[in-house]
Structure 1
Amino acid sequence: MRHYRHRDFDLSHKSLKFLRPVFILVIILLIYLMFQFPANKVFMILFGLFIVNQVVHLIWLTHLEKRIFKPITQLQDGVKEIANGNYSVNLDNTTSNEIGFLIDSFNDMAGKLHENETLKQEYEENRKTLIANISHDLKTPIAAIQGYIEAIQDGVVTSPEKMNQYLQIISKNTVYINRLIDDLFLFSKLDMHQLEFQMESLPIRAFMADLMTEFNFELQEKGLSFQYSDETEEDYRVFLDRKRIHQAIRNIIGNAVKYSSPASLRLETRLYKKEEFICLDIRDNGPGIQADKLHKIFDRFYRIDSERTKDLMSTGLGLSIAKELINAHSGKILVESVVDEGSCFTLALPIHTEERSCP
């Protein structure tokens, strides 16, 4: 049925193209006859009216082709391109009628299809990269565990000290694998928007003071310098999930500890208000990050050190997870860094007010 309708439209369009020169020839013939028989006034008037009618009809047909048939033909060609998988098609729209509106809608649809196809391709590339990175990151510790276990089984290790050293290395790699699996599980839930949040409106001063006290105790146990200052003038409320914000801050602080020298590392945190956000600066005096690598540090599995296996306790997902957690709070995370001077991560969370709807 649809096939026959399509043929009817094509026949109508072809007939219109054929009739146009016919009308022109008829008009020329009528004008010729008018000059051949000028004596009969009635005949001249009738011929004149008929010519005017034909001219008007010709103009109407031309207008019909331009405003109706050509745009519909464009739409047909566009639909064929979409059917063939070409989602980048964009039709020129020279009409402002209902068909012009239909062409605009078609272009919007094609644009969304093209965007979805691009996202699909990017997702597929990311999936392949993710699988490759996971395989690489799991292979190294598993190979190490296997090697040390075989050494123990073969009787290579005889002294208790050596045995204890081997067991510690096996334990360290096992902890790393477990942490990598946990981070992957968390990141996948964040990526699919399936992670549950226990959001509540909290006074930020008390919450952050308790959190910084906990980090201060842990870092001092490791002999690291840690300072916290609260520069907020009021006890603003922030809508947040305690556990997720704790995890985001821990990932950033943990990242600074991993890649800095423990003997000289100083961590300074500062809480303050900026515009409609409560901000927390986490500043360290570590090695810093090169400017050309700064925009990549939130990419999953990205490590500034090109030797991916240099630090087996780093999964390469910590900063990615931190960014996703802050984004889920309608916040943002920024970073500034100078090589050999240190880095400063800024977490910004929106202030919770009665006017601001909860996410």
Structure 2
Amino acid sequence: MSIKVKLLLSYILMTFLPVVLFALITTGLSLTFYGDKENGGTTPFWEQTNERNDWVAGVRTLAKADPERFTDSAFLNRMDQLLSPLQIGLVVVKNDRMVYSSPSVDRPGLEEELRRLEPDEPMRKWKPNAAGRYAAERHSLSFPDGGKGDVYILTDWSSFFQGMRQFFPLLLLTLLVVIGLTNGLVTFLVSRNLIRPLYRLKNAAEQIKEGNLNHEIHLNRKDEIGRLGEALEEMRSRLNESIRLQLQYEENRKELISNISHDLKTPITGIQACVDGIRDGIADTPAKRDKYMGMIARKTEEMDRLIDELFLFSKLDLKRLPFHPEPLDLNAYLQDYTVELGLDPRLEGVKVSYTSSGPGPVTVLADREKLERVLMNIIGNSLNYMDKPNKEIRVRLQDGPEEAIVSLEDNGPGIAESALPHIFDRFYRADPSRNTAAGGSGLGLAIVKQMIEGQGGAVGAESRLGQGTRLFFTLPKPNQEGKRP
């Protein structure tokens, strides 16, 4: 649930919950003060009110049916004895003269006060006086002797207003308590639901600021704060991975410098030894001088080749070597390439064969120059380690729906299973002494991997000791527009 929805629900609760609770409490207070009790009982107020209504109805009926009774003093005294406990009084006016008034309501000026009631005014009217508050109800009388008059039924509601003086302050206090409790509780719950995860995010940010990137952030929420936590966790994870890679790169740089120093020192040491031999007169014959000069030339070529490969690999590693992939018929290309290999002096005595999964063209996206370097490095690596009298290299092409697979197999000594995953690492040699007698620099297959991946492909290797090694790589096929898929 989003924070917007939570806040909207909290506003609704803070608005309607107090209203509902206040209505329920008001109903309860009304029932307590004025309402019916359970099990059929009533409160004294309503008992008295119901009895009042019954007597007032009787007086109304009597005023219509037998108005002459209101001229009988004995009857009026008996009525007053019955109505007085109910705080009801009677006033009888005949021919504009008050002929009777109940002692409970009689007071000076009562006749004038009743006369001020206009004929067209409502039958009930609140009239304040010193004794309390009365409801005056007037009914016309027509006497048998032809006289006209009125009977006033005065009901004292002082007890009702006394209860109201207790009821309304209690009702107001209840309203304030309900609003305070409901709004306070809803605000507390909503704020706690928002503040707690914010404190957790603050703590996580402080951990990241202090450099502790192993403190994971899991809020388990689906709202905006949860998405913020997910973004912060992703940032922490990426930052941690970036630092890890940076440390790994730094370690790789140290290893690279160490390997370069080692591989450059070997030919330099050989050159220095030859130069010292010539200077010291050890090469005292033309044959020896020629031998020493030949060694210097070979070591110089080795250094030049190593520096070229280092320069090429550094550009590949820094993504500064451009690739120019174009549609290429790989089947025809490999056929021509294997024919050229048969004419290469370096492959004298090596049987080179080529097979394809089909006779038709196999179109891929490849950089011709980089592809030639890839094939040359793989074949050169195989030549460096072949140890059998009948040397053989088999080139195979397998067509696929989205990519083509090129594999080059030799019948060399093979590679140990523990070393196989590392052969594409830079400067890796299975020989821990890093002996260059075989002519390898340790960068050939690393360059192959970089070049193939730069063209959108992948490399792999399979090997069995004593039987040979299979190196393979893939090249993507173009889509209908002639571009990479």
Q: CA RMSD in A?
A: 2.2
Q: Structure 1 residues 312 and 336 mapped into 2: Cα distance closer, same or farther (>3 Å)?
A: closer
Q: Is the 8 A contact 1:142 1:173 kept in 2?
A: yes
**TM norm structure 2:** 0.63
Unaligned segments of structure 1, at least 5 residues: 1-33
1:141 is aligned, of 259, 263, 267, to 267
Question: Are 1:153 and 2:279 counterparts?
Answer: yes
Question: Are 1:291 and 2:417 counterparts?
Answer: yes
Shift of 1:209: 1.6
Specify which structure has the higher proportion of strand: 2
Shift of 1:64: 3.1
Q: Match of 2:328?
A: 202
Shift of 1:243: 0.8
Q: Match of 1:65?
A: 191
The within-5 A match list for 1:118-133 is: 118-133=244-259
Q: Structure 1 residues 317 and 77 mapped into 2: Cα distance closer, same or farther (>3 Å)?
A: same
Give the letter aligned to residue 299 of structure 2: N
Shift of 1:312: 6.2
Paired with 1:92 and 1:61, the residues of 2 have a C-alpha distance of 25
Question: Are 1:223 and 2:346 counterparts?
Answer: no
2:379 is aligned, of 224, 238, 253, to 253
Question: Are 1:240 and 2:366 counterparts?
Answer: yes
Q: Is the 8 A contact 2:476 2:484 kept in 1?
A: no
Q: Match of 1:323?
A: 449
Q: Match of 1:105?
A: 231
Greater relative contact order (CA < 8 Å, ≥ 6 in sequence): 1
| 2:414 alignment partner, SS class | coil
Paired with 1:326 and 1:179, the residues of 2 have a C-alpha distance of 21
| More off after superposition, 172-181 vs 203-212 | 203-212
Paired with 1:312 and 1:266, the residues of 2 have a C-alpha distance of 18
Shift of 1:355: 5.4
| 2:360 alignment partner, SS class | coil
Shift of 1:221: 5.2
Question: Are 1:178 and 2:178 counterparts?
Answer: no
Paired with 2:254 and 2:262, the residues of 1 have a C-alpha distance of 12
| More off after superposition, 223-232 vs 190-199 | 223-232
Q: Alpha-carbon deviations, 1:295-335, whole Å to 9, x = none?
A: 01111000011221242621100000001111111111111
Paired with 2:203 and 2:232, the residues of 1 have a C-alpha distance of 12
Give the letter aligned to residue 237 of structure 2: G
Paired with 1:47 and 1:153, the residues of 2 have a C-alpha distance of 114
Unaligned segments of structure 2, at least 5 residues: 1-28, 34-162
| 1:343 alignment partner, SS class | strand
Paired with 1:104 and 1:295, the residues of 2 have a C-alpha distance of 35
Shift of 1:67: 2.6
Shift of 1:152: 1.0
| 1:225 alignment partner, SS class | strand
Q: Match of 1:166?
A: 292
Question: Are 1:83 and 2:209 counterparts?
Answer: yes
Q: Is the 8 A contact 2:388 2:411 kept in 1?
A: no
| 2:399 alignment partner, SS class | strand
Shift of 1:72: 2.2
The within-5 A match list for 1:331-342 is: 331-342=457-468
Paired with 1:94 and 1:43, the residues of 2 have a C-alpha distance of 48
Shift of 1:41: 4.1
Q: Is the 8 A contact 2:306 2:441 kept in 1?
A: yes
The within-5 A match list for 1:9-24 is: none
Paired with 2:201 and 2:346, the residues of 1 have a C-alpha distance of 70
| 2:179 alignment partner, SS class | helix
Q: Is the 8 A contact 2:385 2:438 kept in 1?
A: no
Q: Match of 2:389?
A: 263
Give the letter aligned to residue 423 of structure 2: I
Q: Alpha-carbon deviations, 1:157-182, whole Å to 9, x = none?
A: 12333222222222221111111111
Give the letter aligned to residue 256 of structure 1: S
| More off after superposition, 98-107 vs 138-147 | 98-107
Give the letter aligned to residue 333 of structure 1: V
Give the letter aligned to residue 268 of structure 1: R
| 1:292 alignment partner, SS class | coil
Shift of 1:56: 1.6
Paired with 2:345 and 2:392, the residues of 1 have a C-alpha distance of 10
Figure out how many residues of one structure are paired with residues of the other and give that number. 323
Q: Alpha-carbon deviations, 1:180-222, whole Å to 9, x = none?
A: 1111111111111110123221222222222222222216752
Q: Is the 8 A contact 1:240 1:329 kept in 2?
A: yes
Q: Is the 8 A contact 2:364 2:403 kept in 1?
A: no
Question: Are 1:56 and 2:182 counterparts?
Answer: yes
Paired with 2:392 and 2:287, the residues of 1 have a C-alpha distance of 34
Give the letter aligned to residue 241 of structure 2: E
Question: Are 1:274 and 2:415 counterparts?
Answer: no
Paired with 1:275 and 1:292, the residues of 2 have a C-alpha distance of 33
Q: Structure 1 residues 262 and 173 mapped into 2: Cα distance closer, same or farther (>3 Å)?
A: farther
| 1:157 alignment partner, SS class | coil
| More off after superposition, 293-302 vs 205-214 | 205-214
Give the letter aligned to residue 114 of structure 1: N
Q: Alpha-carbon deviations, 1:138-161, whole Å to 9, x = none?
A: 111101110011101111012333
Paired with 2:330 and 2:343, the residues of 1 have a C-alpha distance of 20
Higher gyration radius (CA)? 2
Question: Kindly, what percent of the aligned residue pairs are identical?
Answer: 33
Q: Alpha-carbon deviations, 1:9-32, whole Å to 9, x = none?
A: xxxxxxxxxxxxxxxxxxxxxxxx
Q: Is the 8 A contact 1:223 1:262 kept in 2?
A: no
Paired with 1:123 and 1:290, the residues of 2 have a C-alpha distance of 27
| 2:343 alignment partner, SS class | helix
